[in-house]
Chains A and B, each alone.
Chain A
Amino acid sequence: MISGVLVYSSRGELILNKFFKNSLKRSISDIFRVQVINNLDVRSPVLTLGSTTFHHIRSRRGDNMWLVTITRSNANSAAIWEFLYKLDSVMNAYRLDREEALKEEFMIVHEMLDIMLGGNGIPIDTELNSVIAQMSVKPVRNVLESPDSIDMLSSTSSPSSVGGELHFPKFLKKRSSSFLGQGDSHSDFSDGNKISWRPKGIIHKKDEVFLYVNERMNILVSRDGSILKSYVDGTIDITTHLNGTPVCRFGLNDSLGMQSEDQKNWLSQQDEHSHNDFENKNCFPKAAAGSVLLEDCKFHECVSIEKFNKNHIIEFVPPDGSMELMKYHVRDNINLPFKITPIVAHSTRDNEVDYRITLKSLFPGKLCAKDVILHIPVPPSTVDCKISVSNGNCKFVPEENAMIWRFNKFNGLTENTLSAVTVSTSDTTQLSLQQWTRPPMSLDFEVMMFSNSGLVVRYFTISSRDSKHRAVKWIKYISKSGSYEVRY
């Protein structure tokens, strides 16, 4: 399928080429360089010349290298781009996303490609942990633990250091024992079966599981304040250090799961503990009371999809280390974390534009958002802005034609106001201000222990034959901005 793989530096220097067809010549790499890398106006991630097709991605890590494949027939583009992104993350795990490192250790990538692509350039295995297991060189240990998201684990490399931030619902412990019993009887994963993603006999000093609920909030608000679209894309990532071959199981408060029979059962039992179970009630105003409608779930291959469809339990034998367990998509009943109310007007004199913006946080007062940045576009002819803010720090950045309003910390249920006026160049006309395209304002933020969708992990159990002691379980909710745009 894939006839050749090329890796270029961000400037377009060829660092690696590996061909799986003897009909390919090295000169083909020049064609891509000329047509795509040196071409400033590229309008497609795929280029077909004659019967040769180049698919490319730009790595978003390290030195932003170009990863390119060459194919000679009507190959499957989905397979190719998925493969390129997997290659990117394996290279990242080996810290080969830097140009200088790759120039020394390119033979490691040759080995990777030999493992990931079978004969005829067909992808056969790209799962990070499995590839690493087959490699003769192992990456530096701590990289293995946080393979694809530095931000995910950067603050949480060990549980002790994060104490306050991590949330550990009490009911998780209480519930686990009762689920253990019924779990083993109908488990799909008897020890006899070989599980391709988990070798036997893994040993850890301490049994630990970290569950991360990551959400990205996307919203587009029109001029009159109506919401044109709003949805949450979420992923649940998991990092496990467990002995043997454990079966993990957890349930979410999704509306379908809540309806099924055994869940109702669970709810009635649940009432007994209700006084201490929902310690986190404040964080999940809607969710704790109700349930979330998951539009679509996608799972890592280790999750038994049948079981999920039948009774909405997510059951799996995790590969050792970190991975993305599932993805979901929510559209209804979303908890908006911020409300932006912009008033932008042209004042008639002096060709100024007048801004008055309130930014209000709608999440509970106990919580606190960090890295809140509001990006406020100004007309291109602006040379300066006179700004006054009630809090935070706002600067005019001429390179971006925007004012950047920045908060290191933003408390819940707090309102802040910005008032500003632009100063334009003297040759600016009223007309050119009117013709200004007014790109939307966009907001970046990160709120810990808040879930935009209201999704809550209700219980999490681990059953394992080999484990002598109970595993420690940690759950962390992180809500971030995806594309949070407001027109005005």
Chain B
Amino acid sequence: MSDQRVFARYKANEIVTDLQNFGVKKFKSNTTRRKNALRKIIANLTLGNYGEMSLLFPELLKFWQIEDDLEVKRICHEYIRVMGVLKPQQAKEALPFIMDDFKSRDGKLQMLALRTLVLVPLREFSDQAFDCIISLVNHKAPPEDVTRMAIYALLDLDEIDHERVLGLSSILHEIVRLQSSPPEVVVAALHTLYSVHEKNANMEPFELSLDLAFNMLELLPELNEWNKATVLEILTTSVVPQHYLDANEMIELTLPYLQQVNTYVVLNTFKFIMYLLNYVDVIKESLAEKLSNSVIALLDKPPELQFLVLRNVILLLLSRESSLLRLDISYFFIEYNDPIYIKDTKLECLYLLADKETLPRILEELEQYATDIDIQMSRKSVRAIGNLAVKLDEDSVHDCVAVLLDLLEFGVDYVVQEIMSVFRNILRKYPNNFKKNVKELVKHTEVVQEPESKNAMIWIITQYSDIIPNYLDLFKVFSSNMFNETLEVQFSILNSATKFFIRCPTKETEELCMDLLKGCTDQENNPDLRDKAFMYWRLLSLTKMSGTSSALTFEALKSVVDGELPLIEMNTKLDPTVLEELELNIGTIVSIYLKPVSHIFRLNKTKLLPPSPVLNSNKDLLPVVDNSFSPTGANRNRQNSESQSSTKSRRTAMMDDYDKPAEKINQLKGKRKSSSNNPSKLSRKPSTLLRKLSMKRPFS
């Protein structure tokens, strides 16, 4: 029986038989068998077999009394936690047993009991939980981990009875203030206070006095990594520097933690320093250097953490006019085996990092990615090239366009379509620079399939109709099929037809335009399209009447239908208040989505920079200075040597520079052979057979 699989669906009575068979305590072998039967209960809870398992409640209570094995206890508690939610009334019967466990001397049991008390949503349970916590906190010297557990349990209880937790908060304040308890307990108390403030909308943000903050910072070396990170997380926004010196001193104290292995610690240190930088008078160059290096080093983490770091790099690049980070672009070059989410994010980083100096290298990379196997990736890189052309100045745009034209020759249809879409933007910004390329573009009229690129193509044909001789033929590719198009394409077809007619009112254009207007007003069901067609029609007929009574001059008509377009700009910047909030949330979920907290988690509070006499109003004005004072004097030499080497050696490094003469050169021998194993071997066999036979023939 016992060699039955644990992890399978069972009926309640099957387990009951198991338990009764091995219930007798006499035999030692029965203990493990009994345990196996009990494990089956938890496995079935995982499988969702609640109906059957709820029948086992009385059986379980029996065992609770007689067993002192920790695993059995753990199973019992886990059972109550799950069942307590489903059948609260039944769970009440277990309360005395839980309390028995709590009263035992064993710390582990006490913690189990406390957790169960907190997790069962029943008044009786939470009342008991409060009593237990009070008795623990007031007790002289309970084990540290139990006290810590008790303090954290208050966080769960806060959701049930906020008032009562508030009543206890003075005890927690006392623990933080006195700092006489073990450091873990102090951190737990601090964390609980902070979280309670964060969770309740009606409470002020948590504040910590400067003295206590410094005490906590000095406690850091004694804490383990999780507690370190927690303290740094809490200190961000809850301690307010009143003087530049406060901020600087705190930065000095936290800097070493940028060198921890744990990403949680590093990013929280980073966040705390970024927060403090709002309260300093100058930023030292060496600090910027340190921050950048620590970010780069985090890119060696597993992909998920790398992804998080990259998302935060985007955030930091966006946050200031000239970013604090000094990052070499090569770290953001995509590797073939990167997961897709990392490729995407690196691409965005490259886009943000591009400036005049780095553009050639970045373009080369982007061109490479544009031919990637992943279609989305390829599209995104084309899009990035196009956006760079619009974002950067006029000198750079020619380089970008040259790359795009190269890619156009590559000729894969989704690349072509994407190029059309971005080319429209480039032409809008620089209407006269690329006239000679337009002919090349319109060659691909037949290829474009997606609404966006169709739109772009129609726009290009219309805009440059004066230099395209056969523009009407090209246009008819789209207009002949107008009623199968998406709404946006229909709009632009209608608009373009009208433009053609106004620009050059020949018989052909008139026919084309009137056909389309008729079609739209007679056959089309979409009111927006119909209305738009009617509008154009009315406009045309108003001017057409000509003579003196014309309600609309031709110029007016032209400016309405074919007016000047506003200049386009690439706006990558986020709203400054959003950025401020995101910077205070480095490393959290919202830093991945780059959205304000309130958009994703409605119940969470928005973090704000607390006011202080030394708060900088505009951080872009903050000077970054090459400091003469630095904790390690050698640092400066290092930066210099590094910046030199990075500008010189990195640009020109070639594979051949590393070359060395080989001591041994293996030469190719023999001919190229087919490597696929099946055909070659089989094909050779009959022939060798044949030869042998022919050799033997003379003798036979």
Contacts and interface: CB of A to CB of B under 8 A. Distances in A.
Is B one of A's binding partners? yes
Interface of A: 14-22, 26, 43-46, 48, 51, 53, 55, 57, 71, 73-79, 81-82, 84-85, 103-104, 106-107, 110-111, 114, 118-120, 122-127, 136, 196-197, 218, 220-222, 225-231, 233, 255-256, 259-260, 293, 295-301, 305-306, 308-310, 324, 326-329, 331-332, 335-336, 339-341, 360-362, 365, 383-391, 394-396, 398, 403, 411-417, 419-421, 423, 431, 435, 437-440, 442, 483, 485, 487
A338 to B, nearest CB: 10
Contacts of B305: 78, 81-82, 85
B302 A57 contact: yes
A256 to B, nearest CB: 5
Interface stretch (B260-268, B451-459, B531-539, B692-700): B260-268
B259 interface: yes
Contact of A107 (B39, B119, B188): B39
B470 to A, nearest CB: 26
A239 to B, nearest CB: 17
B600 A74 contact: yes
Contacts of B307: 44-45
B336 A485 contact: yes
Given A104-B6, A106-B39, A414-B662, A75 B148 contact: no
B545 interface: no
A285 B533 CA distance: 78
Contacts of B115: 114, 119
A402 B217 CA distance: 55
B341 A79 contact: no
The listed residue with most A CB atoms (<10 A of its CB), out of B114, B226, B268, is B226
Contact of A419 (B48, B302, B304, B672): B672
B155 A119 contact: yes
Contact of B46 (A15, A45, A326): A15
A127 B224 contact: yes
B162 to A, nearest CB: 15
A77 B591 contact: yes
A386 B675 contact: yes
Contact of B631 (A75, A227, A309, A487): A309
26 contacts: A74-B600, A77-B588, A81-B305, A82-B305, A85-B302, A106-B46, A107-B39, A118-B148, A120-B195, A136-B70, A220-B335, A293-B638, A295-B297, A296-B294, A296-B296, A301-B224, A301-B225, A301-B262, A336-B658, A384-B674, A384-B675, A385-B674, A389-B668, A395-B677, A396-B675, A414-B662
Given A301-B225, A390-B667, A46 B262 contact: no
Contacts of B191: 122
B141 interface: no
A298 B305 CA distance: 15
Interface stretch (B20-28, B59-67, B71-79): B71-79
Contact of B308 (A81, A389, A412): A81
B7 interface: yes
Contacts of B372: 437
A107 B411 CA distance: 58
A114 B304 CA distance: 25
Contacts of A387: 672-675
B420 interface: no
B603 A73 contact: yes
A114 B411 CA distance: 58
Nearest to B119: A22
Contact of B7 (A26, A103, A386, A439): A103
B344 interface: yes
Contacts of A122: 152, 191, 226, 230
B176 interface: no
Given A43-B344, A78-B308, A119 B152 contact: yes
Contact of A388 (B365, B654, B673): B673
Contacts of A21: 119, 156
B152 A120 contact: yes
Nearest to A234: B300
Contact of A75 (B296, B328, B589, B673): B589
Given A53-B589, A77-B588, A339-B655, A419 B668 contact: yes
B112 interface: yes
A396 B676 contact: yes
Contacts of A329: 293, 296-297, 300
Nearest to A391: B666
Contacts of A82: 262-264, 305
B266 A414 contact: no
Interface string B177-214: 00000001000100100010000000000000000000
A413 B676 contact: no
Nearest to A418: B668
Contacts of B634: 256, 259-260
A310 B226 CA distance: 25
Closest 4 CB pairs of A and B: A119-B152, A229-B330, A390-B666, A103-B7
A266 B697 CA distance: 85
Contact of A51 (B602, B646, B661): B602
Nearest to B112: A114
B373 interface: yes
Nearest to A108: B71
Contact of A298 (B120, B259, B670): B259
The listed residue with most A CB atoms (<10 A of its CB), out of B256, B259, B674, is B259
A136 B109 CA distance: 12
Nearest to A221: B655
Given A46-B592, A125-B224, A332-B642, A414 B666 contact: yes
Given A119-B149, A259-B634, A45 B341 contact: yes
B261 A299 contact: yes
Nearest to B662: A415
Contacts of B303: 45
A77 B259 contact: no
B674 A485 contact: no
Contacts of A78: 263-264, 266-268, 305, 308, 587
B211 to A, nearest CB: 22
Contact of A220 (B333, B371, B667, B676): B333
Contact of B226 (A126, A255, A411): A126
Nearest to A88: B302
Contacts of B593: 48
Interface string B96-127: 00000000000000011011001111000000
Contacts of B665: 414-415
B222 to A, nearest CB: 8
Nearest to A311: B632
A78 B664 CA distance: 49
A398 B676 contact: yes
Nearest to B261: A298
B601 interface: yes
The listed residue with most B CB atoms (<10 A of its CB), out of A255, A295, A391, is A295
A51 to B, nearest CB: 5
Contacts of A260: 634
B235 to A, nearest CB: 14
A187 to B, nearest CB: 14
B350 interface: no
B638 A256 contact: yes
Nearest to B225: A301
B434 interface: no
Contacts of A259: 634, 637
Given A22-B85, A106-B39, A298 B297 contact: yes
Contact of B264 (A79, A295, A416): A79
Contacts of B672: 386-388, 419-421
A22 B654 contact: no
B13 interface: no
Contacts of B602: 51
Contacts of B344: 43
B668 A74 contact: no
B649 to A, nearest CB: 7
A356 B449 CA distance: 40
A119 B671 CA distance: 70
